[in-house]
Structure 1
Amino acid sequence: MYLRAAHVEPSIDALLQFIEANPLGLLTTAIPSSSYPLIQSSHIPWVLDVISSDSNAPVKGRLRGHMAKQNPHSKALIESVTASGSPSTSQLQQDVLVLFTSPYNHYVTPKFYTETKPSTAKVVPTWNYAAVQVYGKATIYYESSSSTTSEYLSQQVHDLSQLCETSIMGYTGQGDQPEPWKVTDAPERYIDIMKKNIIGIEVTIESIGGKFKMSQEMGKGDREGVIEGFTKLGSDVGKNIACLVKERGEMKDAAAANKL
């Protein structure tokens, strides 16, 4: 990821909070194989365990996820970790990448630049978005008969369900909100069958970087034009982009003022 100084988010805490707010991440691996493609990607919702926000810490956190055992990506992972007779819980030799993106992204027309376009016309289209990428080692839990795998999957599925039911759906059981769905609401035998058809993946966050590309590199007049332009779109995405452009612009201005 190109982390231009104007767009980079330096706070590890902010990057980890971004992952918590946008848990669907794209797992990408590059695993040499005669049976499966070298590069594979799969969308996976993750549970984040925060360990440290210190940029010098070797591990900042862990991502816990799972995916279908029949997924070719899963098969390539299993093939790789068992190639040398590894135990049922094994670490992939290659680093993996997990990419998280904000749901709010949009094309930016040069017409929004109310300052630069009329004066010089030296503007071009771009795209506003926010993203965080993580690099680390992946441990694969794949052997259904292993108690370690079973315990990992039970905990991960429970935690992911609770996260999604409460944080995403808002089902807290408080006030007029319904109770969250729980894994124990399903028959135990059914859950056991489902667990046999998935693998667990745990990724250590050894390197993390992210950016908010929200027009903050532009002058104040152009940023105001962008905010107005997105607001006038009248869409949910437009309104949220406008808010992010305003927020990031104010952060830029505050940082510049502190240097004086």
Structure 2
Amino acid sequence: MYLRAVHAENSTKALLEFIKSNPLGVITTAISSSNFHFIQSSHVPWVLDEVSDDPDAPIKGHLRGHMARQNPQSKAMIETLSSSGTGTGTTKLEQEVMILFTGRHDHYVTPKFYTETKPATAKVVPTWNYSAVQVYGKATVYYDSAKAETGAYLSKQIRDLSRMCETGIMGYTGENGKSGPWAVDDAPERYVDIMQKNIIGIEVSIENIGGKHKMSQELGDGDRQGVIEGFNNLRSETGVCMAESVKRRGEMKDALKG
């Protein structure tokens, strides 16, 4: 990821918070195989276990997820791990993996928004505003359903993920008149066991993390205000959210300038 200084988020704590707020990440692997594509990606919702927000810490946290066993990316990982001859069924991939998280709102930025520079020089081009965080690390894969630690990992993972999504995303807390969350144990035990055998677990150590909020911080005050007004005039949820992000990130940049 290109991290231009004016857009880069330098706080590890803020990057980890971004992941918690946007838990659906795209995991990318590069595994040599005669049966599957070398580069593969899948959307996976992740549970974050924080370790440290110290940028110099070797491990900043762990991301826990799971994928369908029939996913070609899962098959490629199982293939390379099985061929390693360890026979453990719980193995760390030799290859580094990457997970990309993106913010909920992004939008095209038309040069028509640049109300200062466009009339003065016409030296403007379109761009796209967005937020993203990128993680690199090593993946431990739990794929042998006969192993007790695979069952323990998957049992904890699906319960933690369901609880996180039901309460944090859906707001089903069971408090103040709200309904209670759905829980994995609401489903028949035998059914859950069958479903669990059809997934594999993936735990990724966060060894390197970087991110950005590309929200027109590089612009002068006049053009930035034009972007804010342009987004607000779209009169859409995304437009309003983008306008607020541009305003907030611009104010943060100005505060750093003193």
TM above 0.5: yes
Q: Corresponding residue for 1:91?
A: 92
Q: Give the stretch that moved more between structures: 83-92 or 148-157.
A: 83-92
- CA RMSD after TM alignment: 0.6
Q: What is aligned with 1:14?
A: 14
Distance 1:103 1:203 in 2: 23
What is the Cα deviation at residue 217 of structure 1? 0.5
Q: Measure, in 1, the Cα distance between the counterparts of 2:146 and 2:32.
A: 27
1:60-99 alignment runs, 5 A limit? 60-86=60-86, 87-99=88-100
Letter paired with 1:123: V
Displacement of 1:114 in angstroms is 1.0
Residue 176 of structure 1, CA deviation: 2.4
The 2-side partners of 1:31 and 1:82 are apart by 13
* Unpaired runs of at least 5, structure 2: none
Structure 2 residue aligned with 1:53: 53
How far is 1:175 from its partner? Answer: 1.2
Q: Distance in 2 between matches of 1:72 and 1:109?
A: 39
Give 1:118 shift: 1.2
1:203-242 alignment, distance < 5 Å: 203-242=204-243
1:39-188 pair list within 5 angstroms: 39-86=39-86, 87-188=88-189
Q: Match of 1:199? A: 200
Q: Deviations over 1:120-171 (max 9, x none)?
A: 1111000000000000000000011110000000000000000100111011
Structure 1: gaps spanning 5 or more residues: none
Runs of at least 4 residues off by over 2 Å: none
Tell me the residue number matched to 1:30: 30
Distance 1:169 1:15 in 2: 23
SS at match of 2:118: helix
Which deviates the most, 136-145 or 111-120? 111-120
Instruction: Letter of the 2:30 partner, please give it.
Output: A
- Count of aligned residue pairs for this structure pair: 257
Query: How far apart are the structure 1 equivalents of 2:93 and 2:189?
Result: 31
The alignment partner of 2:193 has SS state of: helix
| TM-score normalized by the length of structure 2 | 0.99
The AA in structure 1 aligned to 2:123 is K
Q: Distance in 1 between matches of 2:252 and 2:200?
A: 42
- Paired AA for residue 4 in structure 2: R
The Cα offsets for residues 39-81 of structure 1, whole Å up to 9 and x where unpaired, read as: 0000000000000000110000000000100111100000111
How many Å apart are 1:186 and its aligned residue? 0.5
Q: Supply the distance in 2 between the matched residues of 1:49 and 1:120 (Cα, whole angstroms).
A: 50
CA–CA separation in structure 2 for the residues paired with 1:15 and 1:142 = 29
**Mapped partners of 2:178, 2:210: distance in 1:** 36
User: Alignment partner of 2:145: what SS?
Assistant: coil
Bigger mean CA deviation after superposition, 128-137 or 79-88: 79-88
Deviates more, 1:112-121 or 1:201-210: 112-121
Taking the aligned partners of 1:114 and 1:214, their CA distance within structure 2 comes to 16
Report the more deviating stretch, 144-153 or 78-87.
Answer: 78-87
- CA distance in 2 between counterparts of 1:219 and 1:80 reads 51
